[in-house]
Amino acid sequence: MKSCHVTIQIILLIIILSFSQYSSTSRQLTTPKETNDVSLLCGPYSQWQQPTSINIIWQTTIPTLENYVRWGTTPACPNTTPANQTYIIQDAPLYTASITALQPSTKYYYYIISDTISSPIYSFHTQTPATESISFAAFGDTRGAWDDYQSTYLIAKAIEQHNLPFIIHTGDIVGNGINPEEWISYFTNSSFIHNTTLYPVLGNHEQNGRSYYQYFHLGNNERWYSFNNGPICFIGLDSNLLTPFRLAQNLWLIHKLRINEQPFTIIFFHYPLYSSGEHGSTTYLRWLWQPLFQHFNVDVVLNGHDHHYERAFVHNITYIVTGGGGAPLRDVGSNWWTMYAEKTFHYCLITADATTLEFQALNLYGIPFDAFTLQK
């Protein structure tokens, strides 16, 4: 009997040791995967497109040691620019690589590398001089949590087909700008972001949150800024709460309009001066800014906030409400200023040279439903 007990003990010991060895082996196999499971969380995408420089931004799930951009005028991407870690957003690092010594009005290819991972090859375009024509898109109100970003995704796919060098966004990019997860959802469902440069302005739903300033690199103080591209001077303003009454923004606006020599001027901000939708016109902005727009011969004003499309023409200025980028649509009526209005998901496509600006509004299938032309 004693021999039998010893045999049983030996068998149990063998089983325990075998299980322990298996468990140890399993841990050795899984631990590296858990600690090195780096992947792209956001991007890459380009920011602050200039004639000879641009920023490339991306975010990884965990910190990485070697981060850089490969780029060039061919898909071989022979040049290398290292990145700097700029921000940590919920333990996920956001990297920026500033590429310089570029050529104006040129298409470049690029991809990023962070340790063991790399992105597909994408492209960016440097700023175009005033003597050349440009094409770009404009839209707004893409906050899409209400339908799991399905409409936002479809609009993004429609815009992507045009292969545009840059895009204007009129605000309310996300539903809650303080929640970093919503920004990731927006970037994940905006397929065009890798191959174009996005120029947004603050909407009310951004709540002036830190993430807006972390994910976007814009000019001036990033709340209001301007840039030239092709024959157009673009001016982005902050129309939230009391900001429009800030002397600093208005003095800056007057200065930019006064020194502007571009053939066309487009101003974009969130709250509309003329709207027949649920929120309606922002009359104090009309009182404050419209005299300046008229005096300095602004051509087009792009707004969002109301979730519809509407075109108004007042005192030789075209006002566009383009709030159909993915947020839930709302009914739109008609007023004395209304040239066209429709409740639809949409985006705007603009092409301009030194003498002609052509505008189209297109639905999520890429079909035009409104258009006009401006001549200089």
- pLDDT tens-digit series, residues 215-274: 999 999 999 999 999 999 999 999 998 898 999 999 999 999 999 999 999 999 999 999
The tens digit of pLDDT for each residue in 192-204 reads 999 999 999 999 9
Least confident of 11-15, 90-94, 110-114, 119-123: 11-15
**pLDDT over 80 (residue 35):** no
CA 274 to CA 280: how far, in whole Å?
Answer: 7
242/344: higher pLDDT: 344
d(CA 318, CA 128): 24
Q: What is the mean pLDDT of residues 299-313?
A: 98
Task: Please report the pLDDT score of residue 19 as a whole number.
Answer: 32
pLDDT of amino acid 281: 98
User: Average pLDDT, whole number, for the chain?
Assistant: 91
* Beta bridge pairs of residue 309: 322, 342
Q: In the chain, where does the domain assigned CATH 2.60.40.10 lie? A: 40-125
Q: In one letter, which amino acid is 285?
A: L
Residues of the chain above pLDDT 90, percent: 89
CATH number of 134-375: 3.60.21.10
* CATH topology classification for 40-125: Immunoglobulin-like (2.60.40)
What is the spatial distance between Cα 140 and Cα 346, in angstroms, rounded to a whole number? 9
The predicted structure's pLDDT at residue 12? 36
At 36, the pLDDT band (50, 70, 90 cuts) reads: low
Domain with CATH 3.60.21.10 in the chain: 134-375
Share of the chain above pLDDT 70, in %: 90
| Residue corresponding to tokens 């639809």 | 344
pLDDT of 171 above 90: yes
Instruction: Mention every residue, 6+ apart, whose C-beta is less than 8 A from residue 32.
Output: none
Q: Helix count (H) and strand count (E) of the chain?
A: 6, 22
Using the predicted structure, report yes or no on whether residue 309 has a pLDDT greater than 70: yes
Q: What is the 3-state secondary structure (H, E, C) of 126-157?
A: CCCCCCCCEEEEEECCCCCHHHCCHHHHHHHH
Look up the pTM and report it.
Answer: 0.89
